[in-house]
Structure 1
Amino acid sequence: MGVVVGGSCTIYNRVMARKNLVDGARAYNERQFPKAEELFRAAVEYDQEGATFEGRTSRLFLARTLHSGYAGNRQDTAKAEAAIQEYQKALDGFVLDLKAKREAVAANPQDEELRKELESAENNVGSIVRSVASLYQNLGQEDKWAEWTKQAADNADLPGDVRANSLVGLAAKEYNCANDVTDSKDVKTEVEGAFEFKKPENNENWDKEFGDAKQCVETGMGYIDKAIELDPESDSAWSYRTSLLVQKSRIAEIEGDNAKKEEFKKASDEAKKKFEELAEKRRKAEAAEEAARQAEAAGGESGESEEEN
């Protein structure tokens, strides 16, 4: 492959990368994944650092092609591992692009086109972070999932909602840890149509299990507090805040502290109300966006018909 080096040849490299990128996208849409992979790899060779739109987009599309190959054959774990590597390489270029887009918007806050470009850059970064996390989980590599998710949560260069989403994922694990204890049949009993939670009579490991559950709740609440700080509009974060407060109420009941039980119950009800408000707001926004897309598509089709006539 003739990759040309030198400032005067940058245009040539971008043109060739774009050609392979376009041809690869066409092959991908036709579900010719091996051909698409070959073309995207060829495109990446012209910009391995992801400094150009063509270079970073080609690597992202290469990762998605490998990901699709794994989705079609879950036995092919090598493709999943390769997809993870390509996603991670692509992320660096997209984060640099995101920084540039932020600076451009800061300098020209009224420019709608720049705002759209920034939103697209944020979406690409979020997609990469979620895809890597999903692949680690599909491969059963929970330690690597946790490491990746914590890195994303701590990365100040990432969008706030992406970091918040990572924190929610971590909080979900902590919630499950606590719920496994408080929802067990020897702790949770139904009395006259309501559930009661009490210390089990015969469980020699109870002190450790209960201690672990309490620690999981506190850790989870820490993640959720940070998630809400980063993205106050995250209904997922408020949903898990609700669930973790329910766990705190259960723990208080098990410890015989009825005042704390009621305090956390009230707090969970308030968090649930906030979650429901935000979830409804999100659904309405998504419906409005979909309606706008359909209207735009219908307008385009109408224009084409008029031209034909």
Structure 2
Amino acid sequence: MLFTRKEIINFEWSEEMRSSRFAVLVVFVCAVLFTTNCSFYSRIMARKNLVDGSIAYKDRKFADAEQLFRKAAARDPEGATLEGRTAQLFLARTLHSMYIGNRENKGLAQQAVDEYKKAVPQVSHEYAEAKAAYDANKTGSAEQKRFYSALSSVNSTVSAIPSLLESLGDKEKAIQFQKETAANTQLPETARARALVSMGLEYNTCANDITDTEKTKKTVKKDGKDVFQFVKPENPEDLTKLKECVAKGQEFFNPTLALEPELVKNAPSANVKTMNDDELKIFEETISPFDSARSYRASIAVQASRLAEMEGSPDYATLKADADAKRASADEIKKVVKALDAEKEARLAAEQEAANANKANANANANANAAAPK
């Protein structure tokens, strides 16, 4: 069969097109494979850096650990992978530890702050993913471990930054960061409550320093019993300061009530003995900030009632009842914390007993083998 020139030209053009398309396809496939393999290789190397860095950190070779964690973090600066997020957090913690060992080196503190700030959106992202997985399967071992790790990482990260800023003399920046943390609904309630409590501490101390003195705290007889009666301080400026401190303390402590998750609200009915180790860790990490929050809500309420008594306010009885109720609520959580601590100690003792028994059995077997005739 013969072809015309036009048909031959069309055929040749068609072949060229096929070859061109094939070439493009080959390039595309190679690019995809290279990118995929590169990403996979990068994650493998990041894991190796993390393992080696963790060993160096454990051996207190912080300079080596820092370099290894920097390498791992540089492989995923956006924290798109768990390896990248972990590396960024570990880098910040290593610099923090280096500063603790050499507090004269303020540069290390600033570096730690900078790296922690990079870690905040990453640990927040990891928390969101871990929480979604945990909420979908709360009995899953992997989900429990990941959620606890993510929750504790967020809590420690947002607490470390203001602490370091204060050590650098930047109290205003520390407070501003805590305010941003408290208002950030993307963060867990535990982290937000921690920030609020931390900001309120100085005001509770301020109020107590004014009310709890020999001149303002008098012992009187009431119904045949010795009771305390609170009177105004001699200096009017102290009374003004007391009012300001009580108001500021309430401003920070009282909002923590609305942040309490169901786990905290239902904590008194929880049975810690039935929880596995990971559930126990999650439980402790969740209720601990609110144990503190309830205590300080009660404490500032007590200060408010003392102020009302000093001024002869008609609201004194109401404020006193409110303080008593808040103290009862705080005591309720403290009983749970006490039970939790007792359970942890019991499990630790059981583990130690089992380890000692295994060691004794191993020694007995070794002695028996040595004594056996050959």
TM-score range, shorter chain: 0.7 to 0.9
Structure 2 equivalent of residue 54 of structure 1: 83
**2:245 maps to 1:216:** no
Give the Cα–Cα distance (whole angstroms) in 1 for the partners of residues 42 and 349 of structure 2.
37
The question of whether the paired residues in 2 share the 8 Å contact of 1:217 and 1:247 is answered with no
Cα 1:290–1:63 change in 2 (3 A) is farther
TM-score (norm 2): 0.71
Cα 1:171–1:101 change in 2 (3 A) is same
Aligned mate of 2:173, from 144, 151, 162: 144
**2:257 maps to 1:225:** yes
Deviations along 1:80-119, one digit per CA (max 9) or x if unpaired, are 1111111121121121112112222333344342133212
Give unmatched runs, 5+ long, in structure 1. Answer: none
Matched residues, percent identical?
A: 36
Larger Rg: 2
Aligned mate of 1:165, from 194, 211, 224: 194
Deviations along 1:17-71, one digit per CA (max 9) or x if unpaired, are 1111111111111111111111111221111112222211111111111111111
Deviations along 1:227-277, one digit per CA (max 9) or x if unpaired, are 4478545221111111111111111112112x5323322332232222222
Aligned mate of 1:95, from 105, 124, 135: 124
**2:133 maps to 1:104:** yes
How far the C-alpha of 1:299 sits from its partner, in A, is 5.3
Aligned mate of 1:274, from 324, 329, 354: 329
The question of whether the paired residues in 2 share the 8 Å contact of 1:171 and 1:223 is answered with no
Structure 1 equivalent of residue 231 of structure 2: 198
Give the Cα–Cα distance (whole angstroms) in 1 for the partners of residues 293 and 242 of structure 2.
24
Question: Secondary structure of 2:255's partner?
Answer: helix
- Corresponding pairs, count: 302
Cα 1:225–1:291 change in 2 (3 A) is same
The question of whether the paired residues in 1 share the 8 Å contact of 2:165 and 2:173 is answered with yes
The question of whether the paired residues in 1 share the 8 Å contact of 2:88 and 2:119 is answered with yes
Question: Secondary structure of 2:60's partner?
Answer: coil
**2:292 maps to 1:260:** no
Cα 1:160–1:19 change in 2 (3 A) is same
Q: Which moved more, 1:75-84 or 1:211-220?
A: 211-220
The question of whether the paired residues in 2 share the 8 Å contact of 1:24 and 1:40 is answered with yes
TM-score (norm 1): 0.84
Alignment of 1:111-122 (within 5 A): 111-122=140-151
Give the Cα–Cα distance (whole angstroms) in 2 for the partners of residues 290 and 219 of structure 1.
37
